[in-house]
Structure 1
Amino acid sequence: MNATELQELLEIAQQAAQAAAAVHRAYRQKSFQVDNKGSALDLVTTVDREAEQALVAAIRAARPDDGILGEEGSQIASSSGVVWILDPLDGTTNYVYGYPAHAVAVGVEVAGVRRLGVVVDTANGRNYGGIIGQGADCDGRPLQPGQTAELSRALVGTGFLPDEAIRQAQGELFGKFMPHVRGIRRSGCPALDLCAVAAGQLDLFYEVGLMPWDIAAGAAIAEAAGAQVLTLRSAGLPDPTLIAGNPALVAQMATLLSQLGAISS
């Protein structure tokens, strides 16, 4: 797929994401149903479901032969080699509480390869997009990852899975690696964390057990901006282990996690 075709996909992704963002905005002014996905820690709302419907409708109207994989159950096979990976509301718990870290995330794979992503920060009105090999931007401003060279000076974004036993294991691991970094931040929205890596606002992002829709859009933007996105096999925690940042820091973080027994050789 050539650069022009990828740009066309990016524009469709932006239009679809804005349609879902409109759902986010509409429900800020009215009540909505909140359920859980088998755990009180893992919420799903009317907003998630309707935002995914808006995404799917926009994409299908423009690209009826493409595949779709959405967090809220949309699954359509591709006959074109293009697959859209959707998180209609990343940061659902934040949205429910009015905490300003939630987004629409739209990633695109072509022939199984990550190619581009769009993330709309619906809490703060920012629009991120990027095509791998062509750069990334936020509202027209080019993005560039930070150049911190030492792990001890790195600000690291991370997250916790919605499972109490796994959270306990994650907490024990964080206690071991915290002395090796400058600080840890947890937004509850991995798509925005990966955009923060792309923008140099976080030096690294590290998390385990993320699903394809958690990763696809933000990882594409981070890579498009020049970051490395590395996935490894976890040890003692759910797969995959994902690390994103500049290559020097990614290598140092992978080494530290290996030394701590958190990744498989």
Structure 2
Amino acid sequence: MRDDAALQAEAAQQAVAAAIEVARANFGRALDIEVKGPRGDVVTSVDREAERLIVSMLHERFPEHAVLAEESGALYGESDHVWLVDPLDGTNNYAYGLPLYGAAVTLCHRGEPVVTAIGEATTGDVACAVKGRGVVVNGRPFERAASTPAGRPATALWVGYHTQSDPRLEMLASRLYGRSRRLFSTWAPTIDAFLYLRGGLDAVTAYQCTGTELLGALLLLRESGAEVRGVDGALVRNLAELPELSFAGIRSVILPLIEDCGLAAAL
């Protein structure tokens, strides 16, 4: 008999797989697009369709759980168990016709992520992590590929939309750029999570991120062997208590990155 976590992981993977199929089927077609907020974020008809599908599938399996969805907000009251739903991560990419987008579903227990499924639409791959149990991709146990030695690390920067005019972000990005062989800014943590799993990315820096995909992406990285640390270098053991600036990735990369950037003094 499978335990609750296994059933939850199964449901999360099924929901994400269904959502990315909706996105793939509509990619490149004319979309209904609405501007969401003053910073350039958008929402499309595909976001809403995929979200309705995910929420329906999860609520049918776990009617006692609450849901926090990217577009619809809080649903189904309060519960110790809350599903975070990002039905289309990388919506701007999708709207521009750039095939860097995915979906994420994460179950939190009392705020801490315990199960996540992340889908990469371009390949159709679905990765799943359960706290303390590692990672599976397309239902099979998965170990992160070794990074290609190439001197300086490949890093990704995750930020919230509200930080775009923040001078501290400009300083952070400049320092990271100078210390990375490649600094990715895909605006899609689900894509970066897969890039990390495949060995193409060594570290992630997250600054004031609040998206519904964030905790799932970090849980996936951590279950694949990454460490998550604050700017003071201390391990972040509970992802629900993520500081406003944090680093995730290979230990031998992120510790020198924190020290070299001098971020404790800068921020």
TM over 0.5: yes
1:44 to partner: Cα distance: 1.1
- 1:248 match: 252
Q: Distance in 1 between matches of 2:65 and 2:204?
A: 30
Residue identity opposite 2:144 in structure 1: Q
Following the alignment from structure 1 to structure 2, what is the Cα–Cα distance between the partners of residues 219 and 110?
Answer: 15
Q: Describe the shift of the 1:148–1:245 C-alpha distance in structure 2 as closer, same or farther (beyond 3 A).
A: farther
* Contact map agreement 1:146 1:203 (CA 8 A) in 2: no
C-alpha deviation, 1:111, in angstroms: 2.9
Query: Structure 1 residues 22, 178: CA separation in 2 closer, same or farther (over 3 Å shift)?
Result: closer
The share of aligned pairs that are identical, in percent, is: 24
Other-structure match for 1:176: 175
Counterpart position of 2:236: none
Paired residues of 2:152 and 2:180 also in contact (CA < 8 A): yes
Q: Is the 8 A contact 1:194 1:244 kept in 2?
A: no
TM-score under structure 1 normalisation? 0.84
- Alpha carbons of structure 1 residues 3 and 248: separation in structure 2 relative to 1, 3 Å: farther
Q: CA separation in 1, counterparts of 2:190 and 2:14?
A: 18
* Aligned equivalents of 1:123, 1:145: Cα separation in 2: 19
Amino acid in structure 2 at the alignment position of 1:255: E
- Indicate conservation of the 8 Å contact 1:85/1:108, yes or no: yes
2-structure distance, mates of 1:88, 1:109: 17
Which one is further off, 100-109 or 29-38? 29-38
| Distance in 2 (alpha carbons) for counterparts of 1:257 and 1:219 | 21
**Residue in 2 aligned with 1:10?**
9
Q: Is the 8 A contact 2:153 2:182 kept in 1?
A: yes
1:95-134 correspondence runs (5 A):
95-134=94-133
Q: CA deviation at 1:5?
A: 1.6
Letter in 2 for 1:143: E
1:1-265 pair list within 5 angstroms: 4-28=3-27, 30-39=29-38, 41-76=40-75, 77-79=77-79, 81-139=80-138, 140=140, 142-144=142-144, 146=146, 153-163=152-162, 164-166=164-166, 169-231=168-230, 240-259=244-263, 261-263=265-267
Aligned partners of 1:117 and 1:220 also within 8 Å: yes
Q: CA deviation at 1:85?
A: 0.8
Letter in 2 for 1:254: I
Secondary structure of the 1:13 match is helix
Which secondary structure does the structure 1 equivalent of 2:3 belong to? helix
Q: Please give the alpha-carbon distance, in whole angstroms, between the structure 1 residues aligned to 2:3 and 2:51.
A: 27
- Residue segments in structure 2 that go unaligned for 5+ positions in a row: 233-242
Check the 8 A contact 1:94/1:101 in 2, yes or no.
yes
The Cα RMSD (Å) is 2.7
SS in 2 for 1:153: coil
**Cα distance in 2 between the residues matched to 1:203 and 1:95:** 25
Distance, in Å, in 1 between the alignment partners of 2:264 and 2:181 is 18
Q: TM-score, normalised by structure 2?
A: 0.84
Cα gap change, 1:130 to 1:185, in 2 (>3 Å): same
**Contact 2:17 2:126 survives alignment (8 Å):** no
Unaligned segments of structure 1, at least 5 residues? 234-238
- State the AA in 1 paired with 2:142: P
Distance 1:259 1:107 in 2: 30
Moved more, 249-258 or 40-49: 249-258
The Cα shift of 1:160 comes to 5.0
178 and 196 in structure 1: CA distance in 2 versus 1, 3 angstrom threshold: same
Q: SS where residue 165 of structure 1 aligns?
A: coil
Distance of 2:33 and 2:230 partners within structure 1: 32
1:236 corresponding residue in structure 2: none
Contact 2:231 2:263 in 1 (8 A): no
CA distance in 2, matches of 1:83, 1:51: 18
2:197–2:224 CA contact under 8 A, matched in 1: yes
> Per-residue deviation at 1:148?
8.2
Q: How far is the alpha carbon of 1:216 from its aligned partner?
A: 2.0
